[in-house]
A and B are shown apart, each in its own frame.
Chain A
Amino acid sequence: MNTAPTNVDLINRLAAEYVLGTLRGAARRRLERWRGTSSLVDERCRFWEEGFMPLLLGLRAIQPPAHVWQGIRARLGLPATARRNRVRRYALAASVLLVTALAALLYWRTLAPPRAAEVATISAPSGALLWQVEIYAAPGTAAQLSVRAGTLAMPPAGRDYELWALPKGTSPVSLGLLPYRHNAARRALTVAQQQALANAAQLAVSIEPPGGSPTGQPTGAVVFLVPLRTVS
């Protein structure tokens, strides 16, 4: 069939299986072609793409290694900054040596530790530091959460401490379990976590079953509530 069918139920079923990924092979290629020519096919595909999207946003974010971005930039022939662009033109024209120097510069820049944008300190009533929380959101790097545990940060018996962002006017969003005893955790933030943090003035810590809240919301006692401070 070269032209898209007009049976709405059939189009809907094929579009759903296309978006789901179970429509494969020649049938998949054919639907892709129809999508380019039929507004109905396109509309049905978008319906399913938006409908299913939240399932994927629930995946735990994974920070890609730095060389992936460098590869994209290389493939597209993009400069990292205007200044580097000028250097790069010289490098290309002048010498392999200069190219090597530029690569070293890019390497150093990528590895240079970013500056925390927001911080929160969680302390025991005695004043002893339990956790230092830092949010990194420097342009050009994925937003990350870093948590360092102090000496006295110990797990509650048979349970875990879970960290939450408290966005204004909406439900808490989990930022994961807290590390213990001098350990540090660093993880990439999901889009949902970044959004929650952008609208949050406070972080909370709750006591949860081992491995974290089974519901996605705090289920145990909230034991710490601390302000999230922007670093100027």
Chain B
Amino acid sequence: MSAGAEADRELDARLTDLLRGCAQSDSEALQRLYALVSPTLFACLTRMLRRRALAEEALQDVFVTIWQRAHQFRPERGRPMAWLVSIARYRAIDLLRHERFAAVLVADLPEGAGAAEEAQEEPGASLPGAGLLERCLALLTQQQRRCLELAFVGGNSHADVARLVGSPLGTVKSWIRRGLQSLKACLDA
């Protein structure tokens, strides 16, 4: 086993222990979990919701949910970080689906802001577990990759992605669909 894989396993074991503690109502476990993952989850929420105050509120919701649902986490069924990140992302998507938020967000964003933010981010390649996804994303066309990243990382709807890349909605939907098909084939291989 490579050192990277071992580091991944250590992190998984630590997070799993903390989630087990939360499931047993150990508030110190929640506090340690918060210290470990809140900067990553907050970055994800801030990126998706684009407004700091809303992201702070969402982060509270996320940790309340983690505390309440920790007993549902099954380490044999998936990695803890994916479970935690999904709770945060789905909370953000729930908030985004309300039209009133969407209207404000679109108005807040200067043209091309999404693209500029994207370029400033650290590459995922240096992160544990990122290797396979990186290799698979590299197989996609540039448009497919960009659309998937704008949707997944930015929390953008089909229509938002179409606006950000300046292409028709139908074309963007097709890029996303084909991108997902190629990714599935590669991740499964």
Contacts and interface: CB of A to CB of B under 8 A. Distances in A.
B36 A217 contact: no
B139 to A, nearest CB: 13
Interface in A168-194: 168-171, 173-174, 188-192, 194
B152 A20 contact: yes
Interface string B149-176: 1011101111001000000000000001
Interface stretch (A59-67, A116-124, A222-230): A59-67
B180 A46 contact: no
A55 B133 contact: yes
A60 B43 contact: yes
B112 interface: no
Per DSSP, are chain B's interface residues mostly helix, strand or loop, or mixed? helix
B173 to A, nearest CB: 8
A191 B37 contact: yes
A25 interface: yes
Size bracket of the A interface? 35 or more
B32 to A, nearest CB: 6
A54 B134 contact: yes
A127 interface: no
Contact of A56 (B44, B56, B177): B44
A24 interface: yes
B110 interface: no
A125 interface: no
Given A55-B124, A68-B60, 10 more contacts: A12-B184, A20-B152, A21-B152, A24-B157, A28-B93, A53-B81, A56-B85, A59-B47, A139-B28, A190-B39
